[in-house]
Structure 1
């Protein structure tokens, strides 16, 4: 008898039979892969994935032997041997089977690294010939149906990732089903989009039944127009609307209406550029649709298992499942997912099983990209290629929502394409909508010093100032504090906002700011650009340090947002220290020219035509010479280099595809609200949560979600400095809390720099 998994019992009749595991995983992998027409391929991957467990050495492992056993390479080798003339296509399955524990490998060469596929296919393995008493190697399907796209090599790499995801999820779920059936029964929530659309319509009817202003009337009109387009066929859409027009609810309504019209659609995935507004949007969606159908998933608190070794030991995998280190977020089996662009796109290009496990559940999804212009950087081209392929061959609809649409069509309509790719605009007349929502006048202020900026702000009653870095935000805030301390005036209504403050703290600040703005009290907010995306504040004047035109437009969306004034004032200025090098310098320099030209000609520098010119000029600079900076890490080139042979560098790409250059690490802040600080009782919201965490048998999805509002992301170097100094306490495996918040956390500016 051969077994796949053992239990704590010495009675082997309670162990999972290997043949049962292979059959069950094969059937589940086939089921997942059937959604994109690859069920036969999925079945073979599942049926052969653990072939190496038929070795005596692996069976001894289950009985307690400490000798490591490679059980993943055997099935990869056998499918290559059985493929005959179809060996090239069999490589797809060999990647999947060989990597189902350690992650998708690079193809490499026979003389290359031990972990590469080419070398593993010829390495010595323990004898697994006993398998052939129970297992017959299936025949490889001769073909499959992919609609031709921009790059056949890119398409094959995505197909491999999708099949890999099917196998990893099926293998994990089957193992969990055997080891922990109670937990397995709790997984997944079926989508009933008709019922969710009804909830949404009831919410909108209650909220907008009586428009109280011209802005509300226009928002309702736009919403009704967009809902009328939701019945269109699945595809790539753009939703181009000015800030303040209600894009979040409009895009959610469109997605729900679209899902009802197209019965095959299974989930809605809402990707957002910043973690700071995930809480806000997820809260809105839960309020509208119900707590039970919305999953909020980002990397503030995340267990990323160590997959750096070539092969993970099976017992470690079993142990992780028992300890629920694999959180249910990993396979996105909920109707509505709210996540970050980073989480979404890095998963699409990762080689790790923990990140890729969810990919097959992107099939037949509505994918909404909020603030889509923020993709437009060093990974824009591979991101757009991936989105187009999800639409072309995996039944998805993609909606790119922004006030400043990036050049998606230009990127996708490659000279090699026989048929042009259509990105359909949902709004009939975007230019009209932008004119209707013109609420500000833009002023170019030139170069100013930090001190003179502080003095100007100090003379106003209400103003928002957005700067490019956390350091500048802190220094400007301190400069304003210093001005107040030197004058007879008492400091009133001055606030700071940056990512060095935990989300619950930022939310407290924003609530106070909104109250002060509404009641006409003095209010000054110094912020980094995190306030620009989706944060609902309404200032009469906004100061914006020079940045890309898309960022300036977002900043303008915080000015006179509800149209209470004839116009608000947006001041664009440069600080004497200049722009940070790189992307910010490039985009800022282009924006400076367009602002100057538009204002000299008496035109709106934030109009649709000005934004189009901005992106056209940005594209020119991104493609100077032979360098395409929309693919800064040459992801497409690396995929296509040996793509005809299906020799892909999966692990290399996984390491290279990092949308945030510097590694960030989360810390938990034991934050107290102002009210909690005034009360001697130690039962704060955080202390109650901490007690639950320390006594919980497992780190549940609910606990992870409740921790997220208390996190701050630090750059790795600073995180390590805090850690080495003993200022962080491990409160759960891999999760660390700031030990002395009274010393290291300011209720004005958040985590103090460690250098302080």
Structure 2
């Protein structure tokens, strides 16, 4: 018997035959949503063929730890396929058949070759092929023979190849239908290129899907052997969905009975209609849909109603996944869903995959609390697998699932098939990720039977770029947004924008205080941290002249505060507003989305029109009788008119947004009737987005300017390296796929952040710093991981050059690779001290 795994402590063995068969069976299940069950089974059977090598068998039995990772057992499976695919009959096949044969070979062999090391580049920047290099590792025919003798599967392999070939032909037909759906109006040559790019990009996503399926299948079976557990049977979730739908319906009925006096209010009538529209949309098939609804319309429960209705109607549904960009919304929605569905007794029905939830578990899992340590280990496995019915996660985790180089991220990709995925605040997709995001959603909907719902009060025109989002024919779940805006007239806009009269710090502070005195509370939103801090300091200086009992609660919110500090400040304001205590808040845009807080007046330094609409959502949210006021002005922070002329293509994102907003505001002043007499209307928003996307067409495919390529291209044709590829070409076979998976994954970050996380002396952060200074921390991998996760809630991101310039204010712990801010450098009101401003004052 050939071994796949050996437990030396208990002298237990798992045979190569059993492991290969188990993995093949799980692969069939994992690849079902794509219609690639035979392809999956083929990969599963062959993935560990190299373990038939006597050297590997000896390594396992003798526990030769020094050889771990040094014996290549991944190449044999791919080499077996190469012999079966590219025999003499291959060269006599019609060209089209050769292409499909080659495509299938690459899809299978890349997953097999990379299932331990990770996805490799097919071609690298020098035109060389790491894929070919791995494929051409030393070959041993006796290993192949031993494998087939052990599994007795040669005939099945040949049959699977033919079945898999048919699956790929059918898949290709569906991909052609996908790329033909392009509606973006560009010249024919560019349109043709965009279609070809998206087609090959989609094949790259299929490769990642197969790779994800293999990693999960292999690790799951291995873990079950080591833990002496049976492989979990994939459950039919019909009963779970029915139970959850019943609980939701009871809660919705209870909410109506709880407030009978408010049932007839305009806002409640809108909530009922939006909820009913979502219920109806739950009967629609997989597709990409849009839910645009006003603030306070009950979007969270309405979208949950849609998802559960879909799951009950379509029994193959595996997951309901919420993807949310901001931690504040994640926490709110997660709490709402858990309370509404009463998930206390069924915690395994929901997975919360975001930093705050991880930190809670880490803080509880002390060295002497074994139960909590086991819970943490179980949670970490669940975050890799995403096998829970309901998953609530961040946009960063979702995008990393598709494009990260880390295997633990890619492992969960196949779980997205046969799911309902709901995105909140979809306008927050970073500009450079839009092209890849669109193509990923197109692939999920067209090929993996996924229903996608994009929610926002300011939905971007994602169909207006080179690689457009393929909306379903009936894309809008509710079509009454504009009518609702007129019915719920909660805010009037005061336009004080004048390019010749940008507001100074003093003028902003004066107007903010004046409005707060007039209406009890006010919020001022600036575009930069320095802008918000200067207004705050100006107000603070003004308050020195006012008796303390007459001063409002003054709060500053910026990214110079650590997450825990921000959360406490927001809660402090919410509590004060509930008790009718006067509040004056100065913030950056971090308050605009996902913070359930309402002010009577909002002052907004002009930015993108979508930001102005989001800012209006922080004003009179609960529809009081007296209208709220949104005041828009140009700030001293940036001379956008001058920058747009002098810097041309290198202008900042904020400048682009200001230029587009200025165009719309200017047209509105001249002809308000063209915009339904409302600068916050959909017509104004569509004009803004149309102009904005025209300006960023060269940025949406994730350009890596320093290297001269885009990540979209690296995940598609690698056309940027075509000269190098043709020069270095060695194989007789014309490879269909050229993707540089590893290089693209290395450069990919959802948030391009050239800053460093710095642990600050605030609350628990102070304790962690003291512990580091004491020298009592053991710097083992598990301890370091726990420490870094604990530090996240008490860290602020600072520019690397800023840290170098003021290095005397920081400590660096090399063993933990962690910067800490020294005591006295973190302010209770402003967070991280501006050292440059401080030295100037001194």
- Higher alpha-carbon deviation: 572-581 or 161-170: 572-581
Counterpart-to-counterpart distance in 2, 1:523 and 1:110: 56
CA root-mean-square deviation: 4.0
Secondary structure at 2:544 match in 1 = helix
Report the counterpart of residue 200 of structure 1 in structure 2.
Answer: 248
Report the counterpart of residue 369 of structure 1 in structure 2.
Answer: 423
Report the counterpart of residue 508 of structure 2 in structure 1.
Answer: 453
Report the counterpart of residue 223 of structure 1 in structure 2.
Answer: 275
Identify the structure with the greater helix proportion. Answer: 2
Secondary structure at 1:66 match in 2 = helix
- Match of residue 263, structure 1, among 315, 322, 330: 315
Secondary structure at 1:270 match in 2 = strand
Long gaps (5+) in structure 1: 304-319, 688-692
- Match of residue 117, structure 1, among 131, 137, 142: 131
Report the counterpart of residue 153 of structure 1 in structure 2.
Answer: 200
Distance verdict in 2 for CA 1:655–1:525, change over 3 Å = same
Distance verdict in 2 for CA 1:498–1:241, change over 3 Å = same
Distance verdict in 2 for CA 1:277–1:709, change over 3 Å = farther
TM-score by length of 2: 0.76
* Alignment of structure 1 residues 153-552 onto 2, 5 Å: 153-181=200-228, 192-209=240-257, 210=259, 212=262, 213-289=265-341, 290-291=343-344, 292=347, 293-298=349-354, 327-375=381-429, 377-411=431-465, 422=473, 424-446=475-497, 447-459=502-514, 460-461=516-517, 462-489=521-548, 491-552=551-612
Q: Is 1:96 aligned to residue 111 of structure 2?
A: yes
Distance verdict in 2 for CA 1:628–1:538, change over 3 Å = closer
Counterpart-to-counterpart distance in 1, 2:17 and 2:800: 48
Distance verdict in 2 for CA 1:186–1:160, change over 3 Å = closer
Distance verdict in 2 for CA 1:333–1:243, change over 3 Å = same
* Native 8 Å contact 2:328 2:594 kept in 1: no
Report the counterpart of residue 652 of structure 2 in structure 1.
Answer: 582
Distance verdict in 2 for CA 1:94–1:665, change over 3 Å = farther
- Match of residue 50, structure 1, among 43, 48, 57: 48
Secondary structure at 1:591 match in 2 = helix
Counterpart-to-counterpart distance in 2, 1:286 and 1:723: 45
* Native 8 Å contact 1:363 1:396 kept in 2: yes
Report the counterpart of residue 652 of structure 1 in structure 2.
Answer: 743
Secondary structure at 1:215 match in 2 = helix
Deviation at 1:294, TM superposition (A): 2.4
Report the counterpart of residue 369 of structure 2 in structure 1.
Answer: none
Counterpart-to-counterpart distance in 2, 1:186 and 1:504: 41
* Native 8 Å contact 2:293 2:456 kept in 1: yes
Distance verdict in 2 for CA 1:326–1:283, change over 3 Å = closer
Instruction: Give the number of the structure whose alpha-carbon radius of gyration is greater.
Output: 2
Counterpart-to-counterpart distance in 1, 2:200 and 2:324: 29
* Native 8 Å contact 1:272 1:340 kept in 2: yes
Q: Is 1:622 aligned to residue 696 of structure 2?
A: yes
TM-score by length of 1: 0.84
Distance verdict in 2 for CA 1:89–1:229, change over 3 Å = closer
* Native 8 Å contact 1:544 1:573 kept in 2: yes
Report the counterpart of residue 662 of structure 2 in structure 1.
Answer: 592
- Higher alpha-carbon deviation: 384-393 or 42-51: 42-51
- Higher alpha-carbon deviation: 132-141 or 195-204: 132-141
Counterpart-to-counterpart distance in 1, 2:109 and 2:221: 21
Deviation at 1:300, TM superposition (A): 6.7
Report the counterpart of residue 82 of structure 1 in structure 2.
Answer: 84
Counterpart-to-counterpart distance in 2, 1:747 and 1:388: 47
Deviation at 1:538, TM superposition (A): 1.1
Counterpart-to-counterpart distance in 1, 2:504 and 2:538: 11
Secondary structure at 1:329 match in 2 = helix
Counterpart-to-counterpart distance in 2, 1:334 and 1:704: 27
Report the counterpart of residue 641 of structure 1 in structure 2.
Answer: 717
* Native 8 Å contact 2:79 2:139 kept in 1: no
* Native 8 Å contact 1:188 1:333 kept in 2: no
* Native 8 Å contact 2:810 2:819 kept in 1: no
* Native 8 Å contact 2:204 2:716 kept in 1: no
- Match of residue 149, structure 2, among 133, 142, 150: 133
Deviation at 1:724, TM superposition (A): 10
Q: Map Cα deviations across residues 338-358 of structure 1 (whole Å, 9 max, x no partner).
A: 112222123212343111111
Q: How many residues align?
A: 714
Deviation at 1:737, TM superposition (A): 9.4
